[in-house]
Chain A
Amino acid sequence: MPRGQKSKLRARAKRRQARSETKGLGGAQATAAEEENSPSSASPLLGDRSQNLPTAGTRSTPKSPQRAAGVSCADSNEGANSQNEESSDESYCEDPLNEKVVLLVEFLLRKYQAKEPITKADMLKSVIKNKKYQFPEILKRASEHMELAFGIDLKEVDPIRHCYTFVNKLDLTADDMVIDEENTPKTGLLMIVLAVIFKKGNCATEEEVWKVLNLMGVYAGKKHSIYGEPKKVLTQELVQMKYLEYRQVPNSDPPRYEFLWGPRARVETSKMKVLEFLAKVHDTTPSAFPSCYEEAMKDEEERARARIEARAHSSAMASARAKAKPSSSSCPK
């Protein structure tokens, strides 16, 4: 391959910096809205989202006459000295790929946040589309971006069905989540609700939760001196803070609702901790709830295993990267 990937990107970046005053992007893919404050064509919502990044061809024309000519890779590369950014025109062979890389990174980030697994088919359909044959290259670059910028690894778990999952190289713990709230006394209420949910098989109907809370003198609609208005706390605040999930019972008519543990609860506490809380409330020990205890023990084992795997994976990646470094650095040819 002529002129290495990295030096091309770096050169483009330097050019971009020199050219644009704002954070706007000077490359062919620059959304004009950024720099000139003129919106690109009104993009249809959602259905067509992967086409919203302007393609190299269309966008470059208004910006600089040099680029209007479709430049072939080889010519501009060989002609251009890798040091000379000003005059030479850059190859746009990679740019259409770069567009896909950017869109794939956005796609992957969304999947990561939604905690959904990803398949190759998914990626081809939603992002890659007509660039099917360049999928491996696009995926490789997108993964590198994810790792570099976010510390998130994309791992292929099923090479036959091409299923991927994310591994977080950063070990997120409970400490990480407690950022934006001061300690509120709602923790007590939360622990009770988490315990009810756990006891009811990891999903409790709203009625079941209120039954328990009523026993403690906490009623929906009745302002509590410590907890505030409990229904609002449970169905809005704690859900917004991602401690609880509140959803409609599927196919319920009239609609009924149920609670589940939210993702933050799963990070900040554990089934065992909640069981210990429950045991204390009942003045007994966790083993007094045999089925819950068994489940909590299994949960502890899984967590330990996941931590070990994550650490092993990240150290393997680190050593692989260390080995690969010399050969992967760009050499201008």
Chain B
Amino acid sequence: MQCSTRRMGIMTDVHRRFLQLLMTHGVLEEQAVKRLQKHCYKVHDRNAAVEKLEDFINNINSVLESLYIEVKKGVTEDDGRPVYALVNLATTSISKMASDFAENELDLFRKALELIIDSESGFASSTNILNLVDQLKGKKMRKKEAEQVLQKFVQNKWLIEKEGEFTLHSRAILEMEQYIRETYPDSVKMCNICHSLLIQGQSCETCGIRMHLPCVAKYFQSNSEPRCPHCNDYWPHEIPEIFNPEKEREAGISTSNKKSLRSRQH
């Protein structure tokens, strides 16, 4: 099947290696993706000019389109780092996790997901999740076991833990946005600026609209009197800084351990 000759999409081993490795990592930050791309060129096509990342990915996506798969770009909700994941668009479920987890574990994830979506902060406490352990489908799970399963979710980059509370990893947001919007149409929150799924963010205390932290940063950039885009009331929260990869790299040399710890979160 010569799908590769359609329009512009031409797959070479450079692209295939890229896809395989991206798939292995689940989700990668943009800097790592760029390194990955360069690495793939080095292995297969040393002399070729490294294509601009956006074009490279569009090329791949044009070939993957017929498979309902795409390399999707997102942004981490807490600090605005661009991230990429290989996302399957055909099935709107959490089937991506199915091969790694048992029925009761998947149900635990669903319960945690629901709590996270319903919460105001985008975080669900460990206690609240564990209290639902009796309601799980499948084999009975004890709280101690459930704690370990939650850690497994963190290790596989489906959840992030912060001080005993859990929220969705950017990987989960990228892979499951469609599923979440369809399954929880009433409780799901959306960002007023970018119109995509919102788990963590800031909200206007007057009219209730919400914005992602990176969206807030961009929208109110160098605005000394930030006002709600919807009701024009004074925006009561601290405006975060826009993520700057250059600044990161400079700061990173002296605090390499801290940086790699942070980057590993996503």
Contacts and interface: CB of A to CB of B under 8 A. Distances in A.
A184 B264 CA distance: 12
A87 B260 CA distance: 56
Interface stretch (B1-9, B119-127, B213-221): B1-9
Contacts, number: 195
Contact of A248 (B36, B145, B183): B145
A107 to B, nearest CB: 9
Contacts of A235: 151
Given A9-B66, A106-B88, A228 B106 contact: no
Nearest to B148: A248
A67 interface: no
B99 A111 contact: yes
A180 B155 contact: no
A25 B3 contact: no
B24 A10 contact: no
Interface residues of A, number: 70
B94 interface: yes
Contact of A170 (B17, B69, B157, B256): B17
A58 to B, nearest CB: 15
Interface in B172-196: 178-179, 181-183, 185
Contact of B93 (A10, A25, A43, A168): A43
A179 B70 contact: no
Interface in A246-300: 246, 248, 254-255, 257
Interface string A66-109: 00000000000000000000000000000000000011011001
B137 to A, nearest CB: 10
A46 B28 contact: no
B151 A180 contact: no
A113 interface: yes
Given A25-B68, A52-B91, A236-B154, A113 B24 contact: yes
B19 interface: yes
A45 to B, nearest CB: 5
B94 A110 contact: no
Nearest to B106: A46
Nearest to A147: B16
A35 B35 CA distance: 33
A59 B61 CA distance: 23
Nearest to B4: A148
B29 interface: yes
Query: Which applies to chain B's interface (DSSP): helix, strand, loop or mixed?
Result: helix
B23 interface: yes
A23 B63 CA distance: 12
Contacts of B4: 148
A180 B32 contact: yes
A328 to B, nearest CB: 9
Most chain A CB atoms below 10 A, which of B70, B90, B151: B90
Nearest to B100: A114
18 contacts: A13-B65, A14-B7, A40-B92, A45-B93, A46-B94, A49-B93, A102-B67, A106-B88, A110-B95, A110-B99, A149-B19, A169-B16, A180-B36, A182-B260, A184-B260, A240-B157, A255-B145, A255-B148
Given A145-B1, A152-B20, 13 more contacts: A9-B3, A31-B92, A46-B95, A49-B98, A105-B69, A106-B88, A113-B23, A141-B1, A145-B3, A149-B63, A151-B17, A177-B21, A180-B32
Interface of B: 1-7, 11, 13, 16-17, 19-21, 23-25, 28-29, 32, 35-36, 39, 43, 61, 63-70, 88-96, 98-100, 106, 110, 144-145, 148, 151, 154-157, 178-179, 181-183, 185, 256-257, 259-261, 263-264
Interface of A: 5-6, 9-10, 13-14, 17, 23, 25, 31, 33-34, 39-46, 48-50, 52-53, 102-103, 105-106, 109-111, 113-114, 116, 141, 144-145, 148-152, 168-170, 172, 175-177, 179-182, 184, 228, 235-237, 239-242, 246, 248, 254-255, 257, 329-330
